[in-house]
Structures are given as C-alpha cells and as structure tokens.
Structure 1
Amino acid sequence: MTHSSEETLYKYNADLAPVKASQKTWTAYNFLTVWMGMVHNIISYEVAGGLILLGMSAWEAIFTIIVGNLILLVPMLLNGYQGTRLRVPFPVLIRSSFGVKGAVIPVILRAVVGIGWFSVQTYFIATIFNSLLALLWHGWTHVGGSFNFLGMNLTGWITFMLSWFLNVLILRHGMNSIKRFEAWAGPLVLILALGLIIWSVRVSHGFGPLFHQGAHFPKGQNLSTVFVPALTGVISSWATLVLNIGDFTRFSETQRAQIVGQSLGLPGTAIVFSFMSIMITSGSLVAFGHAIWNPITLLTHFHNIVILALGGFALVIATISVNVSANIVSPAYDITNLFPRHLNFVSAGIVAATLAIFLMPWKLMQNPTTLFTFLGAIGGLLGPVAGVMIADFWLIHHRRIHVMALYQRDGAYSYWHGFNLRALAALGLGVSTSAIGYFNTSLHWLYAYSWFIGLGLALVVYWVLSRIWPGEAPELSSTNEMVNAALSNE
C-alpha cells in the first residue's frame, strides 16, 4: 500500500492495518502461555475461595469454574476467529457492525475499562512490593517520614512508579515483546505454584480438609440460588477480553492455532489453577489452623527469606502478566484508533498507562466496593457489544467482510452518516435492560445477569432489525483475497 493511498483512508495507520502474512507468527503454544499469564494471578487464585465462602463445597466451586470458563470460551473463539480471518484489531473490526464512526462508542467503553483495571492492577503490584520490602527490611515503612503527595506516602510512590515502569517496559517493545514475555512468565508461575502444592500435600497427607468439607450455604440458600450469580462472577472477570481477543488472534499462524491454544489455555489453565489454589489453601488450614486465601498473606507465614523472595517474584510476574495482556493492549489499540495520525500502538499504550496514574487508584481502593461496582457496570455494557459483534460477523455478513471498506469514510460500512442505527438500537436495549435491574430492586436479577442477558438480547435484536431493515450489501470476493490484495504492495 503506497503512502498516498494511506492518506485517503479513514482512521488508518500501520498498527491499525491488517497484519502481513510475515507477522502471523503466534502458535498454539503462544496462546496457551498468554492465557497462562492472564489466569495465573491473585484474583483468579482467590475466585475459588470466594465461591467456597459463598457456601459451596470445593468440588461445587471447581464445577462452577469449569462451566463458567467453557461458556466463556465460546464467544472467545467466535470473536477470535474474526481476528485471525480479517487480521485487523478490535477498533477496526467493530466498524463493520457499528459503522466507521459509530464504532468509537464501544471503543471508548472498552478503553475506559482497560485503563481502569490497568490502574488498579498496577497499584496492586505496588502493594506486593511494599509488603515484601517491609518483611525483608523493617525500616522500609519509615522511609520518607511524613511525606505525602496526593494521598500517598513516599514508599507508596516509589513502588507504584516501579510497578508502572515495569509494565511500560514490556509494552514499549510492542506485541512481540508481550508474546515473548508470556512464553516464559505463564509457565514460571505455574512451576512455582507446584512447589506450594507439594508443600500442601505433605502437610495435609492428601488433598486436605477443604475437599472433604461439604457445602455450608446460609439459611434460605442452596446451590440453585447461588450457582448462576457465581457463574456470572466467574465469567465477568474476562468478559471484556471477549471483545478484543482479535487483537491477539490477528497474529495467529492459523485458525487451528488460536482455537487449540485458547481451548487449552482458557478453561484448562483456569481449572487447574483453581484446583491448585484450593489445595494450597487446604494445606494452610492444616498448617496454620485457618484457611488463607490471599497468597501474599500465606507467604508471610513461612518466615523464610528465600520463599518470600521467590514467591514475591512469582506474584509480581503473575500480576504484570495479566496487566499487560488483558488491560493495556486494548486501550493501546483503542487510543491509536482515535488519533491514528499522531499515535502508534506503543505511544498510545504509554498514554493509556499515564492516564491510569491520574485515576489515583490508591484513593479509589479506599472504597474498593464502589470501584469494582463502577468497573463491573461498565464491563456489563460490553455484553451487548459482544452480541452485536457475533451476530454481525456470523449471522448477517456470514464471515464475509470487505476489509478495505473498514477504512473508508463513505464505504460499505458508513451506514447512516457513519453510524449503524441497528447496532446502536441493540446496544441501547441491552444496556437499558441492565439499568432497569439496577434501579428496580424487584428486577435486580436483570442486572446480576446483565452480561448474559445483554449479549443474548443484543444478538437477537440486531439480527432481527438487520433482517427487516437490511442495509446495502456490497458484492464481496472472499475475505482472504481482499486482505491479500490490500497487502500486495506492502
């Protein structure tokens, strides 16, 4: 593609362009390790514990996690297929359904969620650093004295900026550096967790008491009343990645690579890691007299500098791994899409990371319930977006998308002044249904299950509206032929 032709395209630059054949180097192993890196984190570790605290038995918690991840895998593969086939990132792909201008709405929503979670996870890494440094050097907590800036002391600022820098260091080398980092980070965390498994088996002489403990639901509740809300919680932690999984799969060697890699990595890794977390916690119940679900707290009970250092290193690597992959890749592409003439993937990622600082997560985390309610509500808005995406590609266009028209202001996907009113109506209905459940306590289940309801409702509504009010369908050759034509001069 020549420089002159690039200038005529709408919201286009090298990072938003379809990837070249030479860039499609991600194998099934890469997708497996990416999911390892994203799943092997403290929040995932504590999910099983949260289900047991709701009253489930260990086996019921594991079953819930299995079902949730198998459900989640379906839209991951459907949207992952789009990325591999079309070779474009989420902000470009979404133009076929929402219009070349209307796409900015779901793009901004996804960017806000990504930056919010990046901010929180970066601060979370800083708290790990602080906890470990305080254990290794008792004078650490007194460094800086009474210094306070914007509500955080000197040690907090030192560890937060260190955490921020480590995340950006990986990001600044682009998607290939993320692939290389995840290739060793994901397996490393799993290996270190296996050490704790061996310890747990030795002290418990088997699986441990948690696996022999039955369900203990509060009065008036049982598995049937707890299961679906718990299932929603399991799914919601990764629901946002459903939208931009194509940011990764566009680099896949083949469809088989992303399908096999994701199928092994998402449900497989999540199930194994959850099983391991229950086993380790079960060992802590035997060793220390009470169940310890927080891995940082567990490490402090060993009073061993080597274990603290290795365990702390594993926790930092695990959290950076999920932060870079799940929380900053999408905002980097999303912000590039907003300012393609001025920013690329790396510079836009740094902008997103900088915006995360201004969110001051140390203040937000003073009331984490409010923070996660806000981020969860925004994330719930993305369920209808996923429904529209799936319906558009699989049911409306039947996998045939005019790739170059995604970069044309007045092309096949300009719809009405750049907006696809059918997609916006489906999104609006999905969001409003969730909002009704939020404000009407008698219909709270609509809000509790908003991701499921929003995705399904938006998918059906968008499909129906597109059937009764079809837009103009351009004559298309096969998608792969158009992608090859688009890249023929590169």
Structure 2
Amino acid sequence: MNTNLVKEKNGLEVMDPSLYNEDLAPVPKEKRNWTWLNYTTVWMGMVHNIVAYETAGSLLGLGMNVWQALGTVVFANIILIIAMWLNSSSGAKFGVPFPVLVRASFGYNGAQFPIIIRAFVAIFWFAVQAYAGSKAVGAVLGVLIPGWNSLSDIHFIGMGLNDAIAVALFWVLHAVIISHGMERVKFFELWAGPLVIVLGLGLVIWAIVVSKGFGPLFNEPSTLSGAAFWNVFWISVTGLVGTWATLILNIPDFTRFARSQKDQVIGQGIGLPGTAIIFSIMSIITTSGTIIAFGRPIWDPVELLQAFGNPIVLILGAFALLIATLSVNVAANVVSPAYDLVNLFPKKLTFVKAGLISVILAVFFMPWLWFNNAGTIFNILGAIGGALGPVAGIMIADYHIVKRRNYDKASFYNKNGQYAYKKGYNPKAFIALVIGLVASFIGLMVPALKDLYTYSWFLGIGFGFFSYIFLMQSSGKEKSVDKLEGASSTTN
C-alpha cells in the first residue's frame, strides 16, 4: 500500500493526505443538525448589513420610486435564490464544502485557481466590512468616553489612535466568534439576525411618524420611465446579484451541515428572498422618510444617525450596525476563506486556525488608508464577483447536467480517482471559464458592446454553464467512439 495514502477513514476507502483532513471530510449524518431555522437566521444575519442597506436605499437616489425599487429587489432575489439552490444541493447531499466540490469540475489541482480567488475576495471584503463596522464601535466609545475623539491627534499606522483601538476591538470580536468553529457561528447568527430586524423596525417607525403615515412614503414620484428605467433596472439587478456572487460559490460550506435537503431549501427560501426583501423594504421606507424629513435621500446609515443629532439614537443605531457587520462578516467572509485555506494546507490547518489567519490577513489590506474611495473599491469587488459567475455556472452544470447529481466521494480525496483528469487539471473547465470570462467582460473590452457589461454576471454564468456542458459532452462522445473503435479492432 502507498504510505502516502490513508485507508478506511470516515467511510472513504483511500484518501491522499494532501487532499484530506477532518474539516474537508464529509460531515457524518449524525452531525448534520442544521435545521431550516438555522439557515433562515444565518441568511438574516448576512443580508442585514451596511452594504445591503445602502444598495436598496440608493435605488431611490437613482430616481426610482418605492414601488419600482421594491420590484427590482424582489426580481434580483428570485434570481439569487435559484442560483443558491442549484449550487447548494450538492453540499447537502454529500456533506462536503466548496473547495472539495469544485474538484469535480476543475480537477484536484485545477480547483486551487477558483479557490484562491474566492479566498482573496472574501478576505478583502472582510477588511472593508470590518473597518466600516469599527466606525460604529468608535461612535459608541466617543459618546461613552470623554476625550475619546482627542485621541485622533495621536497617529498610529496611518490612522488616529482612537480609530486604531476601535479597529483592534472589532477585529478581536470576530476572532472570538470564529474561535469556537461553525457551532459558534450557528448560535451567533441565531440571535444576531432577528435582533437586527427588531432594531431596523425602529427606523421604519421613525419614517412613518415623520411622514405622518405610509401615503407620503409611497407617493414620492419616479424620475425614470421607458428605456431610462429599464437601463437602471438591469444595472441595479446585476449589482444586487453581484453582491452575493461569491457566496453562490461557497454556499455548500453551510448546506453540508443540513439535516435534510428540505431544511436547507426551506431555510434559504425564507432567509434569502424573504428576509432580504423585508430588510430592503425597511431601507427603502427609511430612505423615503429621509426625503421628507431632510429634503434629500440619505441611504448611508452612518450619515443618517449623525443627522438625528441624538446620542441615544447614535448608540442604539451604532449597536445595530455593529451586530449587522459582525453577522455578515463572520458568515460570508470568514467561513469561506477558512475552508479555502484548509484546502490549500490540509496537513497544517484546521477550520478555526484558518479562520483566525483570515482575520489577521485582512489587517494587511489596511482599509483605513483607502476607505474614502469605497465607491471604486465596491466596483472592483463587483467586477471580481462577476468574474466568479462562470465558476458558478461550471459547478452547477457539472453537478446537475454532466454528473447527473451523482459524485464519487472517494474520488474527491484520491489523486487517481475520477476527478484526476490530466495531472489534476480539467482543461475543459478552464476553456469554459475563459469563454465565460470573455462574455462577462466583453463590454469592457469592446467599446461598441459596452452596454453588455450591464449584464456581466448573467453572461458569465450563462456562457460558463453552456460551454462547459458542450465541452464535457463532446469529450464524452469522443471517448465512446474511441472505445468502439478499440473494441472493433480487437474483434478483428
């Protein structure tokens, strides 16, 4: 027996230790205990964040009225949940995370490419969200501690000492939550998500009171009609979908713990389109209220809190932003790179160690130096997220069409298994990836087709999906012909 292989562990016959450890192994049936409620609350925690609030509220700033904005949000979330369901069922069925599942389409070596990009995006996004959340920490400390703001005169690694302390405290909070593994994540999200909803209702009540009823909120006119509206509509839908494009890839990291397919389907169905739409309604109503109260739409929650000029409101609001950012960052931007890093170094890392490393690596992006250019950064992140659309298309096509929802679990951890392809790389997947990327960014590369960039995520996932199916089925036919010819020559 090859001494580099592990035999008869976790129900798998042969495993290569460079492809396997306990965190990458299939979750045993007895440990798949996440119910529909857990998935609902996890999604509640993830969708209730500063970026999601600003994105929904900013639709009014683009000229939409409340009804147009709500329709846009509903449509985008229908697209999102369909994509999530398609890519999450494999995780629930086989109990393995994204870095393992992607080996089936790209090969055990080729999988490292989408894994590294996905980890980079998540850690980068974590840095942005964490720094934004640290502002809420600083706002609370500024109210509670006399002389706190004077610490800004003392500079430390490019920021005031007060900001540095707030950043450090917020980073430590993330580390505490992740230090106890996925069970700590599950229980944190169980109460964090609903709490944010309750706090968000406070802003809705304020908007209704200041507007003296719902009427004025829903009667604000739209400045868009005809072609102008549809152009903004599709740009907005692409942006809303692109916000979660990366999580579409690693949703199996969560559904691998599902008690059943029914639990993850129902839980995500309630949690993603359900609570996302409710949260967007809160944002849109509140933003509409700011038009009446302040004469202009304010979709930045920090700016809105400052506009109230009330320390109690500031503390409560900052606490809401703190919980919102913690919940989305832990679930969306720590869990995924943790599994990605474990996949890269399975012999040395565990989930908890990899999660803590991800939190530490995020510091080196030093968001406090460039956060004022957040608009540009979000565009870059959106482009990177759009680039992952073809990967999602390839994974969905591989599982549902090419492999017909049937994977060989042992081959995930065996370099001589079904997913070895050519030295661990599947050339067909990379060709499909290139085709999908060209489709995604053709609007940037060819000025005459610039309008196509509005649909970049849709083009990427679509071309990745269909080109992968075509390439894999074509190769299957070639193999069948070769076998027939071989059989014929043997008979002769």
Pairwise same-fold verdict (TM > 0.5): yes
CA distance in structure 2 between the aligned counterparts of 1:139 and 1:192, rounded to whole angstroms: 28
Amino acid at match of 1:267: P
Match of 2:352 among 324, 338, 346: 346
CA distance in structure 2 between the aligned counterparts of 1:354 and 1:6, rounded to whole angstroms: 35
- Deviation per CA, 1:248-278: give whole Å up to 9, x if none: 0000101000000011111111111111112
CA distance in structure 1 between the aligned counterparts of 2:254 and 2:434, rounded to whole angstroms: 28
Partner of 1:121: 129
- Per mean C-alpha deviation after superposition, the further-off stretch among 155-164 and 284-293 is 284-293
CA contact (8 A) 2:136 2:319 kept: no
SS in 2 for 1:340: coil
- Per mean C-alpha deviation after superposition, the further-off stretch among 120-129 and 256-265 is 120-129
Partner of 1:28: 36
CA distance in structure 2 between the aligned counterparts of 1:437 and 1:281, rounded to whole angstroms: 32
CA contact (8 A) 1:208 1:279 kept: no
SS in 2 for 1:401: coil
Partner of 2:218: 211
CA distance in structure 2 between the aligned counterparts of 1:35 and 1:324, rounded to whole angstroms: 12
- Measured after TM superposition, the shift of residue 369 of structure 1 is 3.4
- Off by >6 Å, runs of 4+ in structure 1: 3-7
CA distance in structure 1 between the aligned counterparts of 2:404 and 2:58, rounded to whole angstroms: 41
- Measured after TM superposition, the shift of residue 294 of structure 1 is 2.0
Change (3 A) 1:37 1:338: same
CA contact (8 A) 1:37 1:321 kept: yes
Change (3 A) 1:221 1:417: same
Partner of 2:120: 112
CA distance in structure 1 between the aligned counterparts of 2:316 and 2:18, rounded to whole angstroms: 49
CA distance in structure 2 between the aligned counterparts of 1:303 and 1:370, rounded to whole angstroms: 29
Change (3 A) 1:290 1:55: closer
Confirm whether residue 237 of structure 1 aligns to residue 237 of structure 2: no
Partner of 1:189: 196
Partner of 1:432: 438
CA distance in structure 2 between the aligned counterparts of 1:314 and 1:131, rounded to whole angstroms: 12
- Per mean C-alpha deviation after superposition, the further-off stretch among 361-370 and 269-278 is 361-370
Amino acid at match of 1:200: A
- Measured after TM superposition, the shift of residue 9 of structure 1 is 4.2
CA distance in structure 1 between the aligned counterparts of 2:456 and 2:265, rounded to whole angstroms: 27
CA distance in structure 2 between the aligned counterparts of 1:95 and 1:49, rounded to whole angstroms: 39
> What TM-score results when the alignment is normalised by the length of structure 1?
0.92
CA distance in structure 2 between the aligned counterparts of 1:379 and 1:10, rounded to whole angstroms: 28
- Measured after TM superposition, the shift of residue 168 of structure 1 is 1.2
Alignment of 1:160-199 (within 5 A): 160-199=167-206
Amino acid at match of 1:167: H
- Per mean C-alpha deviation after superposition, the further-off stretch among 402-411 and 367-376 is 367-376
Partner of 1:486: none
CA distance in structure 2 between the aligned counterparts of 1:112 and 1:15, rounded to whole angstroms: 20
Change (3 A) 1:209 1:138: farther
- Per mean C-alpha deviation after superposition, the further-off stretch among 286-295 and 57-66 is 286-295
CA distance in structure 1 between the aligned counterparts of 2:152 and 2:270, rounded to whole angstroms: 47
Match of 2:266 among 247, 260, 263: 260
CA distance in structure 1 between the aligned counterparts of 2:9 and 2:42, rounded to whole angstroms: 34
CA distance in structure 2 between the aligned counterparts of 1:145 and 1:154, rounded to whole angstroms: 8
CA distance in structure 1 between the aligned counterparts of 2:468 and 2:284, rounded to whole angstroms: 42
CA distance in structure 1 between the aligned counterparts of 2:296 and 2:80, rounded to whole angstroms: 33
Partner of 1:19: 27
- Measured after TM superposition, the shift of residue 279 of structure 1 is 1.8
SS in 2 for 1:414: coil
SS in 2 for 1:85: helix
Partner of 2:275: 269
- Deviation per CA, 1:427-475: give whole Å up to 9, x if none: 01111233332232222233332210010001100001111112979xx
CA distance in structure 1 between the aligned counterparts of 2:464 and 2:448, rounded to whole angstroms: 23
Partner of 1:366: 372
- Measured after TM superposition, the shift of residue 330 of structure 1 is 0.6
Confirm whether residue 88 of structure 1 aligns to residue 96 of structure 2: yes
CA distance in structure 2 between the aligned counterparts of 1:12 and 1:322, rounded to whole angstroms: 28
CA distance in structure 2 between the aligned counterparts of 1:472 and 1:131, rounded to whole angstroms: 64
SS in 1 for 2:64: coil
Structure 2, unaligned runs of 5 or more: 1-7, 481-492
CA contact (8 A) 1:64 1:227 kept: yes
CA contact (8 A) 2:19 2:413 kept: yes
Confirm whether residue 48 of structure 1 aligns to residue 56 of structure 2: yes
- Per mean C-alpha deviation after superposition, the further-off stretch among 5-14 and 360-369 is 5-14
CA distance in structure 2 between the aligned counterparts of 1:279 and 1:229, rounded to whole angstroms: 21
Match of 1:451 among 449, 457, 462: 457
Confirm whether residue 60 of structure 1 aligns to residue 68 of structure 2: yes
Partner of 1:408: 414
CA contact (8 A) 1:152 1:362 kept: yes
Partner of 1:154: 161
- Measured after TM superposition, the shift of residue 208 of structure 1 is 5.2
Change (3 A) 1:235 1:8: closer
- Measured after TM superposition, the shift of residue 147 of structure 1 is 2.4
- Per mean C-alpha deviation after superposition, the further-off stretch among 190-199 and 316-325 is 190-199
Amino acid at match of 2:138: N
SS in 2 for 1:222: helix
Tell me the C-alpha RMSD between the 2 structures: 2.0
> What is the aligned residue count?
471
CA distance in structure 1 between the aligned counterparts of 2:173 and 2:374, rounded to whole angstroms: 24
CA contact (8 A) 1:208 1:286 kept: no
- Measured after TM superposition, the shift of residue 309 of structure 1 is 2.1
- Measured after TM superposition, the shift of residue 42 of structure 1 is 1.5
CA contact (8 A) 1:136 1:305 kept: no
Amino acid at match of 1:158: I
CA distance in structure 1 between the aligned counterparts of 2:220 and 2:166, rounded to whole angstroms: 40
CA contact (8 A) 2:60 2:288 kept: no
CA contact (8 A) 1:95 1:413 kept: yes
Alignment of 1:291-330 (within 5 A): 291-330=297-336
- Measured after TM superposition, the shift of residue 315 of structure 1 is 1.0
Change (3 A) 1:244 1:197: same
Change (3 A) 1:379 1:270: same
CA distance in structure 1 between the aligned counterparts of 2:66 and 2:214, rounded to whole angstroms: 11
- Measured after TM superposition, the shift of residue 374 of structure 1 is 2.4
Partner of 1:78: 86
Partner of 2:109: 101
Structure 1, unaligned runs of 5 or more: 474-490
- Measured after TM superposition, the shift of residue 41 of structure 1 is 1.2
> What TM-score results when the alignment is normalised by the length of structure 2?
0.91
Amino acid at match of 1:304: N
Alignment of 1:273-288 (within 5 A): 273-288=279-294
Partner of 1:482: none
Change (3 A) 1:292 1:366: closer
Change (3 A) 1:189 1:472: farther
Amino acid at match of 1:465: L
- Measured after TM superposition, the shift of residue 329 of structure 1 is 0.7
CA distance in structure 2 between the aligned counterparts of 1:460 and 1:134, rounded to whole angstroms: 54
CA distance in structure 1 between the aligned counterparts of 2:252 and 2:458, rounded to whole angstroms: 21
